Amino acid sequence: MGELRERMMADLVLARYSPRTVEPYLNCARDFAAYFMRSPAEMGEPELREYLLHLVQRQLASPSVQKMHVAALKFLYARTLHRREVAAGIPWPKVPRTLPEILDEAEVEALLAAVDQVHHRLILMTAYGAGLRVKEACRLRVLDIDSRRMLIHVRLGKGAKDRYVPLPRLLLTGLREYWRQVRPPGPALFPGHRNNPCISAAAVQKAVQRALPKAGITKHATPHVLRASFATHLLEDGTNIRVIQVLLGHGSIRSTERYTRVSRRHIGAVTSPLDRLADRKERRPR
Protein backbone atom coordinates (compact mmCIF):
# COMPACT_ATOMS: atom_id res chain seq x y z
CA MET A 1 0.00 0.00 0.00
CA GLY A 2 3.02 2.26 0.29
CA GLU A 3 2.06 5.86 1.02
CA LEU A 4 -1.50 4.89 1.98
CA ARG A 5 -0.16 2.54 4.65
CA GLU A 6 1.95 5.34 6.12
CA ARG A 7 -1.06 7.66 6.18
CA MET A 8 -3.21 5.04 7.88
CA MET A 9 -0.50 4.34 10.45
CA ALA A 10 -0.22 8.07 11.20
CA ASP A 11 -4.01 8.33 11.62
CA LEU A 12 -4.04 5.38 14.02
CA VAL A 13 -1.20 6.85 16.05
CA LEU A 14 -2.87 10.28 16.15
CA ALA A 15 -6.09 8.61 17.33
CA ARG A 16 -4.03 7.06 20.15
CA TYR A 17 -4.68 3.45 19.17
CA SER A 18 -2.40 1.06 21.02
CA PRO A 19 0.46 -0.70 19.15
CA ARG A 20 -1.42 -3.97 19.69
CA THR A 21 -4.23 -2.52 17.55
CA VAL A 22 -2.20 -0.57 14.98
CA GLU A 23 -0.33 -3.55 13.53
CA PRO A 24 -3.40 -5.84 13.09
CA TYR A 25 -5.37 -2.97 11.47
CA LEU A 26 -2.56 -2.33 9.00
CA ASN A 27 -2.36 -6.05 8.23
CA CYS A 28 -6.11 -6.18 7.55
CA ALA A 29 -5.84 -3.27 5.11
CA ARG A 30 -2.81 -4.90 3.45
CA ASP A 31 -4.65 -8.22 2.99
CA PHE A 32 -7.65 -6.41 1.49
CA ALA A 33 -5.42 -4.68 -1.06
CA ALA A 34 -3.54 -7.90 -1.83
CA TYR A 35 -6.79 -9.79 -2.50
CA PHE A 36 -7.66 -7.47 -5.42
CA MET A 37 -4.06 -6.43 -6.20
CA ARG A 38 -5.27 -2.83 -6.16
CA SER A 39 -5.06 0.13 -3.83
CA PRO A 40 -8.07 0.57 -1.49
CA ALA A 41 -8.25 4.15 -2.78
CA GLU A 42 -9.34 2.72 -6.16
CA MET A 43 -12.05 0.50 -4.66
CA GLY A 44 -15.39 0.94 -2.97
CA GLU A 45 -18.27 -0.84 -1.23
CA PRO A 46 -18.65 -3.70 -3.78
CA GLU A 47 -15.04 -4.79 -3.32
CA LEU A 48 -15.32 -4.40 0.44
CA ARG A 49 -18.38 -6.64 0.58
CA GLU A 50 -16.83 -9.20 -1.76
CA TYR A 51 -13.68 -9.44 0.35
CA LEU A 52 -15.50 -9.83 3.68
CA LEU A 53 -17.86 -12.38 2.12
CA HIS A 54 -14.79 -14.27 0.91
CA LEU A 55 -13.45 -14.41 4.47
CA VAL A 56 -16.76 -15.75 5.81
CA GLN A 57 -17.57 -18.25 3.06
CA ARG A 58 -14.06 -19.71 2.97
CA GLN A 59 -14.03 -19.80 6.78
CA LEU A 60 -10.79 -17.82 6.79
CA ALA A 61 -11.77 -15.71 9.78
CA SER A 62 -13.50 -16.37 13.09
CA PRO A 63 -16.27 -13.92 14.05
CA SER A 64 -13.83 -11.96 16.22
CA VAL A 65 -11.22 -11.77 13.42
CA GLN A 66 -13.95 -10.77 10.95
CA LYS A 67 -14.98 -8.01 13.37
CA MET A 68 -11.39 -6.75 13.44
CA HIS A 69 -11.31 -6.64 9.62
CA VAL A 70 -14.55 -4.66 9.59
CA ALA A 71 -13.22 -2.22 12.19
CA ALA A 72 -9.92 -1.78 10.34
CA LEU A 73 -11.53 -1.18 6.96
CA LYS A 74 -14.13 1.18 8.40
CA PHE A 75 -11.26 3.16 9.92
CA LEU A 76 -9.34 3.14 6.64
CA TYR A 77 -12.22 4.52 4.60
CA ALA A 78 -13.64 6.90 7.20
CA ARG A 79 -10.46 8.39 8.67
CA THR A 80 -7.68 7.96 6.10
CA LEU A 81 -9.53 8.08 2.77
CA HIS A 82 -12.35 10.38 3.99
CA ARG A 83 -14.95 8.16 2.30
CA ARG A 84 -17.05 7.12 5.27
CA GLU A 85 -20.00 6.17 3.05
CA VAL A 86 -18.05 3.26 1.51
CA ALA A 87 -18.08 1.19 4.71
CA ALA A 88 -21.10 2.73 6.44
CA GLY A 89 -23.43 -0.06 5.31
CA ILE A 90 -21.09 -2.93 6.26
CA PRO A 91 -22.68 -4.76 9.22
CA TRP A 92 -20.80 -5.67 12.37
CA PRO A 93 -20.64 -9.47 12.76
CA LYS A 94 -22.27 -11.08 15.75
CA VAL A 95 -19.50 -12.44 17.97
CA PRO A 96 -20.40 -15.30 20.36
CA ARG A 97 -20.25 -14.25 24.02
CA THR A 98 -18.75 -17.19 25.86
CA LEU A 99 -18.64 -17.48 29.63
CA PRO A 100 -15.27 -17.61 31.39
CA GLU A 101 -14.01 -20.58 33.36
CA ILE A 102 -14.16 -19.92 37.09
CA LEU A 103 -11.92 -21.44 39.74
CA ASP A 104 -13.30 -21.95 43.22
CA GLU A 105 -11.30 -20.74 46.21
CA ALA A 106 -9.66 -24.13 46.81
CA GLU A 107 -8.56 -24.31 43.17
CA VAL A 108 -7.14 -20.77 43.32
CA GLU A 109 -5.16 -21.69 46.43
CA ALA A 110 -3.86 -24.88 44.80
CA LEU A 111 -2.88 -23.07 41.60
CA LEU A 112 -0.96 -20.35 43.41
CA ALA A 113 0.86 -22.93 45.53
CA ALA A 114 1.89 -24.84 42.39
CA VAL A 115 3.58 -21.83 40.70
CA ASP A 116 7.36 -22.19 40.92
CA GLN A 117 8.71 -18.65 40.56
CA VAL A 118 7.84 -16.12 43.25
CA HIS A 119 7.40 -13.20 40.81
CA HIS A 120 4.96 -15.23 38.70
CA ARG A 121 3.03 -16.19 41.85
CA LEU A 122 2.81 -12.57 42.99
CA ILE A 123 1.53 -11.42 39.59
CA LEU A 124 -1.18 -14.09 39.73
CA MET A 125 -1.98 -13.15 43.33
CA THR A 126 -2.44 -9.57 42.10
CA ALA A 127 -4.73 -10.71 39.28
CA TYR A 128 -6.90 -12.63 41.75
CA GLY A 129 -6.57 -10.38 44.80
CA ALA A 130 -7.14 -7.06 43.04
CA GLY A 131 -8.84 -8.05 39.78
CA LEU A 132 -6.06 -6.81 37.51
CA ARG A 133 -5.55 -7.86 33.93
CA VAL A 134 -2.32 -9.82 33.67
CA LYS A 135 -0.65 -7.07 31.59
CA GLU A 136 -1.66 -4.49 34.19
CA ALA A 137 -0.07 -6.61 36.91
CA CYS A 138 3.09 -7.14 34.85
CA ARG A 139 3.49 -3.38 34.31
CA LEU A 140 3.18 -2.38 37.97
CA ARG A 141 5.84 -0.05 39.32
CA VAL A 142 7.20 0.02 42.84
CA LEU A 143 5.59 3.44 43.36
CA ASP A 144 2.18 2.04 42.41
CA ILE A 145 1.99 0.10 45.69
CA ASP A 146 0.57 2.46 48.32
CA SER A 147 0.92 0.52 51.58
CA ARG A 148 -0.27 3.46 53.72
CA ARG A 149 -3.63 3.72 52.00
CA MET A 150 -3.63 -0.01 51.11
CA LEU A 151 -4.25 0.76 47.45
CA ILE A 152 -2.73 -0.20 44.10
CA HIS A 153 -2.54 2.51 41.42
CA VAL A 154 -3.29 0.89 38.06
CA ARG A 155 -1.89 3.19 35.39
CA LEU A 156 -3.16 3.34 31.83
CA GLY A 157 -5.29 0.22 31.93
CA LYS A 158 -7.52 -0.78 29.04
CA GLY A 159 -8.83 2.34 27.34
CA ALA A 160 -5.85 4.32 28.71
CA LYS A 161 -7.65 4.78 32.05
CA ASP A 162 -6.14 4.93 35.53
CA ARG A 163 -7.90 3.44 38.54
CA TYR A 164 -7.26 2.45 42.14
CA VAL A 165 -7.93 -1.00 43.55
CA PRO A 166 -7.54 -2.37 47.10
CA LEU A 167 -4.18 -3.83 48.13
CA PRO A 168 -4.82 -7.17 49.89
CA ARG A 169 -2.84 -7.67 53.10
CA LEU A 170 -1.61 -11.11 52.01
CA LEU A 171 -0.33 -9.64 48.75
CA LEU A 172 1.46 -6.81 50.58
CA THR A 173 3.22 -9.35 52.82
CA GLY A 174 4.35 -11.29 49.76
CA LEU A 175 5.52 -8.15 47.95
CA ARG A 176 7.57 -7.02 50.95
CA GLU A 177 9.31 -10.40 51.17
CA TYR A 178 9.91 -10.31 47.40
CA TRP A 179 11.38 -6.79 47.73
CA ARG A 180 13.80 -7.89 50.44
CA GLN A 181 15.00 -10.82 48.34
CA VAL A 182 15.09 -9.33 44.83
CA ARG A 183 15.42 -5.55 45.16
CA PRO A 184 14.26 -4.68 41.60
CA PRO A 185 16.83 -2.24 40.17
CA GLY A 186 14.45 -0.01 38.21
CA PRO A 187 10.98 1.44 38.53
CA ALA A 188 9.31 -1.82 37.38
CA LEU A 189 8.16 -4.06 40.22
CA PHE A 190 8.58 -7.15 38.01
CA PRO A 191 11.43 -6.35 35.56
CA GLY A 192 11.85 -8.35 32.38
CA HIS A 193 14.92 -9.90 30.80
CA ARG A 194 17.44 -8.01 28.70
CA ASN A 195 15.90 -4.81 27.32
CA ASN A 196 12.33 -5.53 28.39
CA PRO A 197 11.27 -3.06 31.11
CA CYS A 198 8.83 -5.52 32.67
CA ILE A 199 8.03 -9.21 32.60
CA SER A 200 5.87 -10.36 29.68
CA ALA A 201 2.32 -11.66 30.00
CA ALA A 202 3.36 -14.66 27.90
CA ALA A 203 5.85 -15.72 30.60
CA VAL A 204 3.07 -15.64 33.21
CA GLN A 205 0.80 -17.62 30.89
CA LYS A 206 3.46 -20.34 30.58
CA ALA A 207 3.83 -20.41 34.36
CA VAL A 208 0.10 -21.08 34.73
CA GLN A 209 0.19 -23.90 32.17
CA ARG A 210 3.05 -25.56 34.08
CA ALA A 211 1.24 -25.19 37.39
CA LEU A 212 -2.19 -26.53 36.35
CA PRO A 213 -1.21 -30.25 36.26
CA LYS A 214 0.67 -29.91 39.55
CA ALA A 215 -2.44 -28.39 41.13
CA GLY A 216 -4.66 -31.16 39.75
CA ILE A 217 -6.82 -28.66 37.85
CA THR A 218 -8.34 -29.88 34.58
CA LYS A 219 -10.23 -26.70 33.71
CA HIS A 220 -8.93 -24.57 30.85
CA ALA A 221 -7.37 -21.81 32.93
CA THR A 222 -5.33 -18.75 31.97
CA PRO A 223 -4.14 -15.80 34.05
CA HIS A 224 -7.34 -13.99 33.02
CA VAL A 225 -9.38 -16.70 34.76
CA LEU A 226 -8.07 -15.39 38.08
CA ARG A 227 -9.46 -11.93 37.30
CA ALA A 228 -12.80 -13.52 36.36
CA SER A 229 -12.74 -15.57 39.56
CA PHE A 230 -12.08 -12.36 41.55
CA ALA A 231 -15.24 -10.78 40.11
CA THR A 232 -17.37 -13.89 40.56
CA HIS A 233 -16.29 -14.48 44.16
CA LEU A 234 -17.03 -10.85 45.03
CA LEU A 235 -20.51 -11.22 43.55
CA GLU A 236 -21.07 -14.39 45.55
CA ASP A 237 -20.03 -12.52 48.70
CA GLY A 238 -22.68 -9.87 48.02
CA THR A 239 -20.48 -7.03 46.71
CA ASN A 240 -22.46 -4.48 44.69
CA ILE A 241 -21.99 -5.02 40.96
CA ARG A 242 -21.30 -1.31 40.40
CA VAL A 243 -18.37 -1.52 42.80
CA ILE A 244 -17.04 -4.56 40.93
CA GLN A 245 -17.38 -2.64 37.66
CA VAL A 246 -15.14 0.14 39.01
CA LEU A 247 -12.58 -2.32 40.40
CA LEU A 248 -12.34 -4.15 37.08
CA GLY A 249 -12.11 -0.92 35.08
CA HIS A 250 -15.09 -1.80 32.88
CA GLY A 251 -16.48 1.09 30.86
CA SER A 252 -19.88 -0.58 30.62
CA ILE A 253 -21.87 -2.44 33.27
CA ARG A 254 -22.71 -5.01 30.57
CA SER A 255 -19.13 -6.27 30.69
CA THR A 256 -19.48 -6.87 34.43
CA GLU A 257 -22.95 -8.41 34.28
CA ARG A 258 -21.62 -11.47 32.47
CA TYR A 259 -20.21 -12.67 35.80
CA THR A 260 -23.75 -12.94 37.19
CA ARG A 261 -24.21 -15.77 34.70
CA VAL A 262 -21.49 -17.85 36.35
CA SER A 263 -22.09 -16.87 39.98
CA ARG A 264 -23.29 -19.73 42.20
CA ARG A 265 -24.99 -17.18 44.45
CA HIS A 266 -27.20 -15.97 41.60
CA ILE A 267 -27.73 -19.22 39.71
CA GLY A 268 -27.79 -21.52 42.74
CA ALA A 269 -30.50 -19.43 44.41
CA VAL A 270 -32.97 -20.34 41.65
CA THR A 271 -35.43 -23.10 42.50
CA SER A 272 -36.15 -25.32 39.52
CA PRO A 273 -39.85 -25.88 38.75
CA LEU A 274 -39.05 -29.59 38.74
CA ASP A 275 -38.10 -29.36 42.43
CA ARG A 276 -41.35 -27.51 43.13
CA LEU A 277 -43.24 -30.47 41.67
CA ALA A 278 -41.39 -32.72 44.09
CA ASP A 279 -42.25 -30.37 47.00
CA ARG A 280 -45.95 -30.44 46.08
CA LYS A 281 -45.90 -34.21 45.93
CA GLU A 282 -44.41 -34.41 49.43
CA ARG A 283 -47.03 -32.01 50.82
CA ARG A 284 -49.98 -34.02 49.51
CA PRO A 285 -51.93 -35.84 52.22
CA ARG A 286 -51.41 -39.56 52.30
* CA-closest candidate to residue 207, choices 106, 127, 104, 280: 127
Q: Which residues contact 225 (CB under 8 A, 6 or more apart)?
A: 100, 101, 102, 103, 219
Catalytic annotation, pick one of 69, 119, 121, 133: 133
Of residues 67, 83, 155, 250, which has the active-site annotation?
Answer: 250
User: Judging by DSSP bridges, how do beta strands 151-154 and 163-166 pair with one another?
Assistant: antiparallel
178 assigned to active site: no
CB 178 within 8 A of CB 184: no
Paired strand residues for 154: 163
Q: d(Cα 195, Cα 90) in Å, to the nearest integer?
A: 43
Choose the catalytic residue: 67, 141, 224, 258.
224
Our answer to whether residue 158 is catalytic in this structure is yes
Q: Which of 7, 67, 74, 158 is catalytic?
A: 158
Q: Is 206 a catalytic residue?
A: no
Q: Which residues contact 190 (CB under 8 A, 6 or more apart)?
A: 119, 122, 123, 137, 138, 140, 184, 198, 199
The CB-side HSE value for 102 (13 A sphere, CA atoms) comes to: 20
Q: Is 250 a catalytic residue?
A: yes
Q: Which residues does the annotation mark as catalytic?
A: 133, 158, 224, 227, 250, 259
